[in-house]
């Protein structure tokens, strides 16, 4: 099913999501980002949102501009954040500060050469971290992005893409049940 078909299958009560999805996945609606970054963030967000029909539709949308290596890099961002967000959210939330001082010891080699450019990887990681609710990871990725001159509008656009894609996934999953 295409992204357009999925968007059109959203129930009437989710009309705002239909409008927002079109907006955040466009150059005009995702200020501070380019087309590849929009697609990278959208795909990583769909993967994190776990609704397979949406993942497939956004993957087809992403493949319009991303190479197979960039698609794999996007999948890698979603995969490593699925692990890191749980670990770092837990060590951040546990009252005992000792856990935050311990070496994580989790392999994250993909971050050295993810198959996509560094800022796209960071933007996707930020959006996935927002979906997964990891404040420590959001802070870390936002700092890296701003240090590398991604504007506040670019960061906001990444967060909006993650929010809308996740809301669409939740709504579609619930309306399919």
Q: For all residues of the chain together, what is the average pLDDT?
A: 95
Handedness of CA 143, 147, 148, 153 (dihedral sign): positive
What is the tens place of the pLDDT at every residue in 65-104? 999 999 999 999 999 999 999 999 999 999 999 988 888 8
pLDDT of res. 29: 96
pLDDT in tens, 115-150: 999 999 999 999 999 999 999 999 999 999 999 999
Selecting among 137, 155, 161, 168, the annotated active-site residue is 137
Residue 21 has what pLDDT? Answer: 98
Mean pLDDT over 43-65 rounds to 98
Whether residue 137 lies in the annotated active site:
yes
Catalytic one of 134, 155, 165, 169: 134
Do 38 and 21 contact (CB within 8 A), yes or no? no
Quick one: what percent of the chain has pLDDT higher than 90?
Answer: 89
pLDDT of residue 136: 93
pLDDT of 171 strictly over 80:
yes
What number is the average pLDDT over the span 41-61?
98
Which residues contact residue 14 at a Cβ distance below 8 angstroms, ignoring those fewer than 6 apart?
167, 168, 171
Query: Considering the chain, what percentage of its residues have pLDDT values greater than 70?
Result: 100
State yes or no: pLDDT of 177 exceeds 80.
no
pLDDT at 111: 79
Task: Tell me the C-alpha to C-alpha distance, in Å, between residue 55 and each of 52, 99, 137.
Answer: 5, 34, 23
Summarize the confidence of residues 23-29 as an average pLDDT: 97
Over residues 159-170, the mean pLDDT reads: 98
**Residue that wins the pLDDT comparison between 177 and 168:** 168
């Amino acid at each position: 099913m295409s992204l357009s078909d999925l968007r059109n299958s959203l129930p009437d009560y989710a009309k705002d999501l239909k409008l927002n999805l079109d907006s955040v996945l466009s150059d005009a609606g995702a200020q501070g980002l380019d087309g590849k970054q929009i697609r990278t963030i959208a795909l990583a967000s769909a993967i994190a949102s776990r609704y397979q029909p949406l993942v497939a539709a956004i993957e087809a949308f992403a493949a319009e501009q991303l190479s197979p290596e960039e698609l794999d890099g996007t999948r890698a961002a979603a995969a490593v954040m699925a692990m890191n967000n749980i670990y770092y959210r837990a060590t951040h939330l546990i009252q005992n500060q000792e856990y935050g001082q311990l070496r994580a010891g989790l392999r994250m080699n993909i971050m050295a050469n993810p198959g996509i450019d560094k800022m796209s990887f960071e933007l996707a990681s930020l959006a996935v971290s927002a979906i997964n609710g990891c404040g420590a990871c959001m802070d870390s990725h936002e700092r890296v992005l701003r240090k590398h001159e991604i504007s506040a509008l670019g960061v906001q656009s990444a967060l909006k893409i993650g929010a809308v894609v996740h809301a669409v996934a939740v709504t579609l999953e619930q309306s399919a049940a």
